[in-house]
Amino acid sequence: MSKRHPTEQSVQKWIERGDGQGTGVNYTPFFHPRDVPSIGRSRLFLGLFILRLFVTLSDIEYYYVLLAEYAAFAGFVVDIREQVALIPWESPQKIATQLRVRYPIYRGTTIPSVMTSDLVLSIPTRKGVRLLVLCIKPASALAHGDRTQETRRSRLMELLQIEKEFWSLCGAEWGLHTDKMLPMILVKNLDFTRHTMVGDERHYLNTILPAFASTFRRKWSKSRPLNELLAAVSSPLGVSFDDAFALFGRSIWLRQLPIDLHSQLLHHEEPVKLIQ
């Protein structure tokens, strides 16, 4: 049943089923694209570091997952969960009462909603794992405006207050993040190369990565376009051009080449900047 039109029994079923709960490959997001109206494009995709299906409900959420995946390959993140339910269900309801804030209900019903957080990252530390909760919102939703905009903004801030207090009681670090905070050049470059990491059929290329990185450095020049460079690298390695691009993408995600991902967008017909 779609989560847009719930009954009290269906909500209990979702909770008992474990929606929005669990960890690692066994985690299932609480929402799917069909369940809620989203800002931008919903996506359903296979994770790179955590091998399960991921669901993002907007471009902004997808971009933050990209950054989390990239951080995971460097050891800075050990688990990534999106659309995480605030469970037990009664806890945020009690917080709302204490804050004297109206708790959200499902539209057209009197049933309390299951609140969720957009992204929860597990961060390794010397003392164990800490949780970092990212509340991801478009900056426009937080901007001041006319009376209607102010009403929406005020209500959003009330809901964020409930969410923040919930995670504070759990001992987690909570933060509000917007599209304005995204390093968009890095994000676009990760998106440009992400598909090279998808699929087991190309994992054999990982054994060639050191040779690829070494050859790439020798053939590289400041003015040489990426396509021309990859063609020059593929020949001595005995791989196809497509495999050479896959090696290039994997060398970025696995940090085998110090490519500058922050100052310019990667493009097939443009040179890449190699950090010496």
Stretch (H or E) spanning 249: helix 241-253
Q: At what angle do helices 209-219 and 226-237 cross, to 10 degrees?
A: 130
Question: Does position 122 have pLDDT exceeding 80, yes or no?
Answer: yes
The candidate with the shortest Cα–Cα distance to 108, out of 263, 4, 224, 245, is 4
User: At 7, is the pLDDT very low, low, confident or very high (cuts 50, 70, 90)?
Assistant: confident
Amino acid 38: pLDDT: 59
pLDDT at 109 > cutoff 60: yes
Residue 20's closest CA among 88, 70, 71? Answer: 88
Confirm if 117 and 131 have CB atoms less than 8 A apart.
no
180 vs 200, more confident:
180
Q: Which of 82-86, 164-168, 183-187, 204-208 has the lowest mean pLDDT?
A: 204-208
- Higher per-residue pLDDT: 108 or 62: 62
164 Cβ contact list (under 8 Å, min separation 6): 135, 174
What pLDDT is recorded for position 32?
Answer: 79
pLDDT at 37: 65
> Any idea which of 144-148, 174-178, 221-225, 239-243 has the lowest mean pLDDT?
144-148
Contact 180, 60 (CB under 8 A): no
- pTM to 2 decimal places: 0.94
Residue 92: the pLDDT is 98
Beta strands 116-125 and 128-137, pairing class: antiparallel
Q: What's the pLDDT at 22?
A: 95
Residue 1 in this model has a pLDDT that exceeds 90:
no
pLDDT at 201 over 60: yes
The string over 158-178, giving b where at least 16 C-beta atoms fall within 10 Å of a residue's C-beta and e elsewhere, is bbeebbbbbbeeeebebeebb
Residue 205 neighbours by CB distance under 10 Å: 18
User: Which residues are CB-contacts of 263 (< 8 A; sequence separation ≥ 6)?
Assistant: 185, 273
All domains of the chain in start order, with CATH? 8-181 (3.40.1350.10), 184-253 (no CATH)
Q: What is the pLDDT of residue 204?
A: 86
